[in-house]
Structure 1
Amino acid sequence: MLNTLIAEGRLVKDPTLKITDNNFAYSRATIASKRGYKNRETQEYESDFIQLYLTKDNAKNFAKLCYQGDLISIIGRLQTDRQVGKDGKVTYYTNVIVSEFTLLTKKKTSAIEPQATTATPHNSGYPFPSEEPPIDTNFEAMELPPSMPFHDTEY
């Protein structure tokens, strides 16, 4: 059966990374994914909050690279689990078990004053020293050795 979910959204808060006693790494996070339509009453877009669960190196990389407000896309599968409370009440919860993620854009930051930069002048030697002779691009004037197979070919 097919159980694949692809979603895009912004991280609600920084992901948590936990490592168990037997060195198993896992990470949890939540993304807010804006719906593609407006609420009829409020005329505003609503969001779905999707719970993510990542394991092993995927979890470590996710926790290291992604932060609150970052826009990410994920591919995974839905998994619904249940938990029985002390009072016997059963609670169901759904997670996306993430198999792949892509960091699309970093969090929008406040406007930062651009820093003055000086342009590198032409022929400044970067990345090559300026002592080197320029490359001759006048190919018609170049003399080809007679051993070249296309020496007498007209184009």
Structure 2
Amino acid sequence: MLNRVILMGRLTADPEHKQTPNGTSVTSFSIAVDRNYAPKDGGSRQTDFINIVAWRQTADFICRYFQKGRMIAIEGSIQTRNYEDKNGNKRTAFEVLAEQVYFADSKSDSAPRSQAPASFPVPKPESFAEPTKGTGFSIGDFEAIEDDDSDLPF
């Protein structure tokens, strides 16, 4: 049997970090995914809103780095669960269990929500000098290799 899902969409709200009574991290959220086709009449594309659940380190990662509007790529599987609503009607919920998540938008937006972007010192050009004698090699130790047009075994 095969149950694999790959989705890319935008979070519709900030994911909320929760923990089970035994301390396991979990988050649930939804993403908006545009359909691949547009109506012939020139109208806008339809959007599907898909419920996602993530557990443990995946949940921690999502809650730390993603917020409403961020593009996310998710790999996982579909799961169903049955429940009874407040009126006593039996319902079935479909959701994607996120196993792997990836950034799908600009790298500049990937700073953790709870922290300011890190700044790193820029090295000065003189710090890129030739290695010294104590490193075991120098730039002069390398030479060009001429191609002899022999067949490689791979």
* Common fold: TM-score over 0.5: yes
SS in 2 for 1:59: helix
- Taking the aligned partners of 1:102 and 1:64, their CA distance within structure 2 comes to 13
Contact 1:30 1:50 in 2 (8 A): yes
- Taking the aligned partners of 1:28 and 1:106, their CA distance within structure 2 comes to 23
**What displacement does 1:82 show?**
1.8
1:87-130 CA-to-partner distances (Å, cap 9, x unmatched) read 32122221100111101214998xxxxxxxxxx99xx414338x
Aligned to 1:39: 39
- Taking the aligned partners of 1:107 and 1:47, their CA distance within structure 2 comes to 25
Aligned to 1:75: 75
How do 1:1-155 residues align onto structure 2 when only pairs under 5 Å count? 1-41=1-41, 43-106=43-106, 124-128=125-129
Larger radius of gyration: 1
- Taking the aligned partners of 2:107 and 2:49, their CA distance within structure 1 comes to 18
Aligned partner letter, 1:80: T
Aligned partner letter, 2:72: I
- Say if 1:84 and 1:36 are closer, same or farther in 2 by CA, change over 3 A: same
Contact 1:69 1:106 in 2 (8 A): no
Aligned partner letter, 1:77: S
- Taking the aligned partners of 1:6 and 1:106, their CA distance within structure 2 comes to 20
**What displacement does 1:39 show?**
2.8
Alpha-carbon RMSD across the aligned residues, in angstroms, is: 3.1
Count residues in correspondence. Answer: 128
Contact 1:5 1:77 in 2 (8 A): yes
Aligned to 2:119: none
Could you tell me which runs of 5 or more consecutive residues in structure 1 were left unpaired when the two chains were aligned.
110-119, 130-134, 141-154
Aligned partner letter, 1:44: S
Could you tell me which runs of 5 or more consecutive residues in structure 2 were left unpaired when the two chains were aligned.
110-122, 131-138, 149-154
More helix by share: 2
